[in-house]
Chains A and B, each alone.
Chain A
């Protein structure tokens, strides 16, 4: 079993829909990242969370440390949100190693 599990693997939605991507992990962590990767490879760090909730524009990320679960929400989705979204956890051993989920490929149809 992978240390970091994401669901769904693929998600297709209509423009304007509310999107939720889930991440569950099985190890002790100090922080969790949500990353976005567009075709072409560049990775952008969207959020780093250690507790609670963060919001940036139409993106919201939440984490429940007790349940070892995080969600990424996109409100009023837009075709430019089409990308692969990756959850990554940072171990609580005092280093910067990230362990990644397999990613969720999101496609927003106009």
Chain B
């Protein structure tokens, strides 16, 4: 059974650019959540999508956005990148309400 897939795995961008990250959940999982991990702030919740709708959003600026497609794949976008956006971005998929959250391997974004 395939795991959660995130692409790309590594990315280097320049300040001011924008970036799109992709997450393909486990087959049958309809909930996808995104998290940011930095050395200073640890793991923080970005947003959750369920059936193409954003159900919850963390305390991040509007430069961070996301969407979910009908096949449950999700993308997150960060516009006008800042140095502080350098982080590991993780997505997790689950069947909402069930004991089956699976994390992806993450995308490591470096902003220079």
Query: A and B, one complex?
Result: yes
B-contacting residues of A (Cβ < 8 Å)?
A: 31, 33, 35, 41-45, 48, 86, 88, 94-103
In whole angstroms, how far apart are the Cα atoms of A74 and B51 in the complex? 38
A44: which of B37, B42, B103, B108 is its contact (CB, 8 Å)?
B103
Q: Which residues from B are CB-within-8-Å of A41?
A: 37, 88, 105-106, 108
Known: A98-B33, A98-B92, A103-B42. 15 other contacts (CB 8 A): A35-B103, A41-B37, A41-B108, A42-B103, A42-B105, A42-B106, A94-B97, A95-B50, A95-B96, A96-B48, A96-B50, A97-B56, A98-B35, A101-B42, A102-B42
Task: Tell me how many residues of B have a C-beta within 8 Å of chain A.
Answer: 26
Is B103 a contact partner of A97 (Cβ separation < 8 A)? no
Is there contact, CB below 8 Å, between A97 and B101? Answer: no
Q: Are B106 and A97 in contact (CB under 8 A)?
A: no
Are B43 and A88 in contact (CB-based, < 8 A)? yes
Given contacts A41-B108, A86-B43, contact A31 B56 (CB under 8 A): no
Q: Which residues of A contact B48 (CB under 8 A)?
A: 95-97
Contact between B106 and A95, CB atoms less than 8 A apart: no
Chain A residues near B42 (CB-CB < 8 A): 100-103
Q: Contacts A97-B45, A97-B56, A103-B42 given: A33-B101 contact, CB under 8 Å?
A: yes
- For chain A, what secondary structure do more than half of its interface residues adopt (helix, strand, loop), or is it mixed? strand
A31 vs B108: C-alpha distance when bound (angstroms): 28
Measured CA separation A49–B18 after assembly (Å) = 38
CB–CB B50/A97 < 8 A = no
- The closest CB in chain B to the CB of A44 belongs to B103
- Does residue B15 face the partner (Cβ distance < 8 Å to A)? no
Inter-chain contacts of B16 with A (CB < 8 A) = none
Indicate the member of B44, B99, B108 with the most A CB atoms within 10 Å: B99
Interface centre among A43, A100, A101, A102 (most CB of B within 10 A): A43
Residues B102 and A45 in contact, CB atoms below 8 Å apart:
yes
